[in-house]
Amino acid sequence: MAVMLSSCAVAQNLNERPSNLDSTAEKMLVYQRSVGGWPKAVGKVAIDYNRELSTLQRLEIRADSLHDDATIDNKATTRELRYLATAYTNTRNPRYLAAVKKGIAYLFKAQYENGGWPQYFPDHHLYRGQVTYNDNAMVNVLNVLQDLAEGKEGFEALSEEDRKRALVAVDKGISCILKTQVVQDGKSTVWCAQYDQHTLKPAQARAFEPVSLTAMESVAIVEFLMRQKNPSTAIISAVKSAIQWFGKAKITGYDFVFISDPKQVGGKDRVLKADALGVIWARFYDLSTNTPIFMGRESIPKKTVAEIEVERRVGYAWYGKWPVNLIDKKYPKWLKTL
């Protein structure tokens, strides 16, 4: 009789098991590093949570958990934290919440005293230790911690102590943002993609990512600042100054488009094309002259995108319309709340 009851209990558990599991969350648990964060790739293969993992693959990945490749680049770690927080809300699986807590602790530990976050932690070699706005890495972290501080987006499951720590971390992050806004002739502008973690001076990252003002990442920074309730005078000033710079830096009458070109490897190129209604911004601008700058893999600044190799022309976002929605919709709406 006892055996029959045990079998029934096992059968009941098996029937209940699917409702307590999320297949994507389960794979995220496999990839979480012992330090608490997640890598963006294993070897040179980007992590794809839509891909099935064999039992052997799961064991191999878990066995490599001490690898120091945890990062906030390309939405790594913040993506997993958001998904797992939601998965816990939906399933109440305690393993997902435990992974979120460990990941949040990783973000707290990775933050510098000056308020910034490195692209990688604990690996700081080359440019990985720089304070990194590039690809919105630091802002993605700040938005997660802001959600935690406000007790929403699934992060309300964490403790009051975690919320208090998140609020402190966000305040330090805002301080870093305000300190790193570039000033030209006494006037604040926007931000660079990377800064030296010790001096907070603008820094170069990869060979084709020069020391420069960045139009793309500065949009996300401004939107994060506008998210703050009862913004300080310093925050309001930073936002308004950035909006003014966007207005001056815009390029009208052009678009950045792909074209077919059989002479190029891959059969395509990307060029500036005249467009009467076009409004775009360059990805990078010279720190002092505000003129667009471009660099290929040889790391030599060029004045036009046509001067760099085709592989970089087609493989990087040299121009974009990133500030349009901010300027046309979000900023006017924000002004009305002041």
Q: Is the dihedral of CA 25, 26, 27, 33 positive or negative?
A: positive
Q: Do 2 and 8 touch, CB atoms closer than 8 A?
A: no
Q: What amino acid positions are annotated as catalytic residues?
A: 74, 206
Q: If phi over 0 gives left and psi between -120 and 50 gives alpha, with beta otherwise, what is residue 251? A: beta
* Segments in the chain forming alpha helices (H): 2-16, 23-31, 55-63, 78-91, 94-110, 137-150, 160-180, 215-226, 233-249, 310-315, 324-325, 331-335
**Can you tell me whether residue 201 is helix, strand or coil?**
coil
Q: How far apart are CA 194 and CA 130, in angstroms?
A: 6
Amino acid at 192: C
What are the tokens at 311?
């592989």
Q: Do 131 and 175 touch, CB atoms closer than 8 A?
A: no
What are the tokens at 250?
């815009």
